Structure 1
Amino acid sequence: MRLIDIDHDAAVTFPAEPFRIRHGLADHPLLTLDALAGLAGRLDRDRVEYNSGKLQPNQPPDEVPGLDLAPTDVVRQIETCGAWMVLKNVETVPEYAALIRDALADARAAIGGADDDGMTDFQGFIFVSSANGVTPFHIDYEENFFVHLHGEKFMHVFDNRDRALVSEPDLETFPGKHRNLSYLADFEERATVYRFEPGEGMFLPYTWPHWVRTGSDWTISMAITWKSPRDIRMNRLYLANAMLRKLRLPQPAPGRYSAYDSAKVMALATLQAVVNPLRRSEGMRRRLRALLFGRRANYYYGGERKV
């Protein structure tokens, strides 16, 4: 089996809508608990986020309980510690970068795409969760091949075109913004629920809202992500709108004024060309987030807070 295997008929809506996939990563040696405990100790601290998994879909960001454990101990004790963890940007470690490249190559081949089909800025996020945990309602700013590796997991997915669920301001993003979004119980009437066992997964498109729960066993999953040129443009536009909104300058929804959108995108691209080289070190990333967006932008350093 390919690392990512896609039924051609299921992928006819790619990349506009979700669909199920299968994969050959469940037994990969880089994705065992032992390997991930070692990875948690190798990554920069701002690329390791964890907290209690005892949350609700509508969990307020300021009320997320933490854990009094070191990152490696969270992984090693995941069967009993009631935790949720994400290891971010694992592509910064060479062997994981190679694995992600190979998986995306298999996905492109299965879909029928070329090597230069717009899958740029690939990244990897690995989730390690205790039983009966919840990842609250949120959106992600990448295209995602989600692969499930251990245990049982359920993903509640919502259509990203429904502005009754996620408003235009909520779509806007900036570094350090907490992922959790406002969720109401009646949203669930609009959800499609996907159940995953090891070897199963799905394609989740850019900014499709979702929340996740685990079953009665601990779990490992991985998000293999990339951005299309359109995604990169939209991310810049959302960031520009968020920054201007923080200056009390409300912004029109993307697409209403194309020339204005283009001007904001060009300005952000210029700013990022200056700032991105400064973000290579963890210390500088932390200082920049605090300077531009306040100290609360570094919320994921609070992982050691006690429950």
Structure 2
Amino acid sequence: MRIDIEDLRVAYAGRTVVADARLVAAEGEITGLVGPNGSGKSTLLRTVYRHLKPAAGRVLLSGTDLRELSPARSARHVAALPQERGSDFELSVREVVAMGRTPYKRAFAGEDATDRDNVARALADVGMAGQGDRRFTALSGGERQRVLLARAFAQDPDVLVLDEPTNHLDIRHQVELLALLRGQRRTTLVSLHDLNAAASVCDRLHVLHAGSVVASGRPREVLTPELMAEVFGVRATVVDHPLTGDPLIAFDHRAPVGTEEPAAIRTAAG
């Protein structure tokens, strides 16, 4: 399934936070949202997993407005890892991951073999196999992050919406997580602060600045020195990664530039 966001506008207390956003997360691809802090990435994602209601525009799931679906039906298709993550579950790791099966259960229904298989597979996928009996509150920040990602995997969704999923993870688990996302080939909409990680893992990028989508396209087309200067206010050059051939952004940490507004909206082909 694919996600289409059409002319989306989101406002808080009368102030527009996201304005007329249009973007696509194609079926089976990883689509990244990048941009400075406060650019609207998390706000946009919250509309996709229905935490926020847009003031205007639509979020379409393969042509169907998500707002037309019941919450349970929507949750069978779209699973989210929000940035505001629960940390006080008085539950075991396995019980937290099993919460991902809720959209498929009737009230008071017990788990079945499918539920158990999904939970076990999700825990294994995030490197937490054999940890199901541990208390969630006893975990480190990185371990909690992996458990909550496993909860999203256990939901068995068509679309994953992930808001900064590599937060709190050490470098090894960041690499493993991003490799896992590529291997799953689910439609994925993900926000990332690390531009080099985004360039490596994402099939397509949308750049947000001050609530607007100012560039869209393949990573190599979007992540240019000019965009780095205009949107992020830094000097940078883009070279080929010596190991993978992906775009690699080298920043000049000694010479920031101004933070002027982007000169124009650019949409790269491809």
TM-score normalised per structure 1: 0.27
